[in-house]
Structure 1
């Protein structure tokens, strides 16, 4: 990808953006909070490209953007609390973390392998038009390189991501300018991130809300070292298959395991990232008491995120 075009927020520009998303491309678009970097939340490769474009060092869960509550209910489970909050604050700058429907069809890269999903219904008319024209869920973190200031104008997006994404839809400056509030409702209500909806407004509806997560029972990822772990023990940086091991290769030099398992036979980090969570589950189902051995993955680009998840899968369990 060489040049990132800027698309107008009219019907023609929205249709072009939706077409790029349907083809697995990444499109930045405005919301009322900041510009989001959108990709098809059902497409493993598209989601992997989001992490690659941002240089995001970990596979943290991504927020899924949807046009309305009915669309949210197709991928998440809402109880009475969640429905009351949604009806009061959506569309708007609020993200809810909810139980994931088993048949949601969302890439496990979006949820970081968890059984919950972060969802939001934006109010911005351009975001709404794009979501309805695309006709599916969009995973969309902020459209900036990881660790950089979030973008509130199309020019900000291009400063950091020009040449890395398919297009940006220019909808002008974002009205709110800070990220959405994130409220966890998988269990007890918990404020995971302050943002565009004040916690006081949420507490007026729900009562007292705790801040942060519980390390013993995390409601967001990255709070436990041993996480994303299969039942079978995992060893890393295995250079060749060993007796009594289910081997998972990477790249042509490492070959494949006896079951033909490989994160990427070509050594493609995007392909490996897209396959990671599916392959962890597949290997665990096939291990039958054996150790799962993973070939080395380069500690560069998306390889850092892949290795982070593999280290968590291999960590000692308490």
Structure 2
């Protein structure tokens, strides 16, 4: 793929991470591994840098970004924390939980990050590469998934390059992401109630709901059509048609298996990898075996339903 960037693949070592930090300071774009998926990082305090994220991904301007910070203390300079938000942060940070909170009026963020909302999405990641980068720079990082908007999320450096090579400055090759699904997103309301806006690796027993619940997009991952492989996707299949790439689960085998042993955690970590294989196959369609809708299986099925929904 040609583009205006010569995309570098950087090692996940001191030299590569240091070079990535230099590019970020200069307003560039670097794909970085996290425990969830690879994120497309840019300095969150720069309108120009954040605009590059939207341009590289082809992301709609109404879809806000998640801001990554090194600590709860850093997060408190950006958002207002209630006792309920404090409890969630204490329990799950650093880790795959994003909190949607009221934005502080003095927060130094690019305007496009919040997409015109009075809230901001914040996360303290737990991946050593992302944490090292955040320790090297003195600004927060906006970092949505490092792929073209609406398509399959990346869990490897090669996935990033297949979508964004020539559109970003570099990618740090940190191997395969462990969780394999984007973070759980929880909004903490003014009355102290919480709402899960996107299911993910962390299971919470609060209220749930998507964009329709409040009539607007409040956080990433709420679009009806998302994570799409670029070809029709059939769910809850027990066998494949001749023109289908079949993704199995448990005792149902296929061209690729989410987890032969029936582990939902393994299925989550392999979901996007299998979808990438299906997208690259010669088959016209993809079929996926049933995945139990419990535990992290609810997050897996959320991604699959959105991937199977045709774009408007």
TM-score between both structures, scaled by the size of structure 1: 0.65
Count of aligned pairs between the two proteins: 216
User: In the alignment, is residue 90 of structure 1 matched against residue 114 of structure 2?
Assistant: no
| 1:64–1:138 CA contact under 8 A, matched in 2 | yes
User: In the alignment, is residue 18 of structure 1 matched against residue 16 of structure 2?
Assistant: no
**Within 2, Cα distance between the matches of 1:221 and 1:148?**
17
Q: For structure 1, which runs of at least 5 residues remain unmatched after alignment? A: 224-318
Which residue matches 2:61?
58
**Within 2, Cα distance between the matches of 1:191 and 1:142?**
19
Which residue matches 1:209?
207
Residues 1:149 and 1:219: Cα distance change in structure 2 (over 3 Å): closer
Q: For structure 2, which runs of at least 5 residues remain unmatched after alignment? A: 223-312
User: In the alignment, is residue 167 of structure 1 matched against residue 170 of structure 2?
Assistant: yes
User: In the alignment, is residue 136 of structure 1 matched against residue 134 of structure 2?
Assistant: no
| 2:61–2:115 CA contact under 8 A, matched in 1 | no
Aligned 1:1-318 pairs, distance under 5 A: 1-187=4-190, 188-199=193-204, 203=205, 208-212=206-210, 220=218
Residues 1:79 and 1:115: Cα distance change in structure 2 (over 3 Å): same
Cα shift at 1:220: 1.5
| 2:10–2:173 CA contact under 8 A, matched in 1 | yes
3-state DSSP of counterpart to 1:87: helix
Cα shift at 1:2: 3.5
| 1:40–1:47 CA contact under 8 A, matched in 2 | yes
3-state DSSP of counterpart to 1:151: coil
3-state DSSP of counterpart to 1:64: strand
**Within 2, Cα distance between the matches of 1:86 and 1:23?**
31
Runs of 4+ in 1 over 4 A off after TM superposition: 213-219
**Within 2, Cα distance between the matches of 1:112 and 1:162?**
26
Residues 1:72 and 1:26: Cα distance change in structure 2 (over 3 Å): same
Cα shift at 1:209: 2.0
Which residue matches 1:263?
none
Could you report, residue by residue, the CA deviation over 1:219-257 in whole angstroms, capped at 9, with x for unpaired residues?
A: 71799xxxxxxxxxxxxxxxxxxxxxxxxxxxxxxxxxx
Could you report, residue by residue, the CA deviation over 1:101-123 in whole angstroms, capped at 9, with x for unpaired residues?
A: 11011111000111110000110
